[in-house]
Amino acid sequence: MGNHIAVYYGTMTGNAEDLAGDTVNRLTKLGYASKSISLEDQKVEDLTKYPFSLFIVSTWGDGEPPEDAYDFWESLDEGNHNLEALNYAIMGLGDESYEEFNAFARNLDKRLTDFGGKRHGERVEADVFYDDAYEKWFSEVIKNITSMTLNS
């Protein structure tokens, strides 16, 4: 399995990017080689390059992806991709006062699984105050990564 982990983020206000950076720092301290990558710089066909991927994304406006993830989303949504080698976990950031709360995280999760990706753990949909949700999600991520590493 290896210990390389991609931490992809899509953000408008910087919260997802900050969490991705924090996640990389925590993973590094645990001995995992990891890298924070903006979805703006990501090609769909390269998603399976890492043994495990994390997605931390916000929703913008009326359920839309954030600006830096828009082109990635269009490419993913309009294509026909083979993501059977993609193992991932996903966390959405949003504001539950909006009708389309965390819609991009749900839509991204659905498309990744539509193309064969395997989500490990539950998708977390966090509100504005996301610290507790993040801690729970990160703990679950570590359990799943450890389990995959031991079973490979």
Confidence of residue 3 (pLDDT cuts 50, 70, 90): low
Which single residue is written with the structure tokens 């090609």?
A: 43
* Helix or strand holding residue 65 (H, E): none
Give the Cα separation of 149 and 86 in Å (integer).
Answer: 15
Q: What is the third-level CATH fold of 4-151?
A: Rossmann fold (3.40.50)
Tell how strand 87-93 and strand 124-126 pair up: parallel
pTM of the model: 0.93
Within the chain, what is the greatest distance between any pair of CA atoms? 42
The shares of helix, strand and coil residues in the chain, as percent rounded to the nearest 5, are 45, 20, 30
Domain ranges of the chain: 4-151
Amino acid at 43: K
Least confident stretch, 96-100, 116-120, 131-135:
96-100
**Residue 116 pLDDT greater than 90, yes or no:** yes
What the block records as the tokens of 126 is: 């966090």
Residue 95 has a pLDDT of 81
Give the residue, 59 or 22, on which the prediction is more confident.
22
Counts for the chain of helices (H) and strands (E), in that order: 4, 6
Three-state secondary-structure class, residue 149: helix
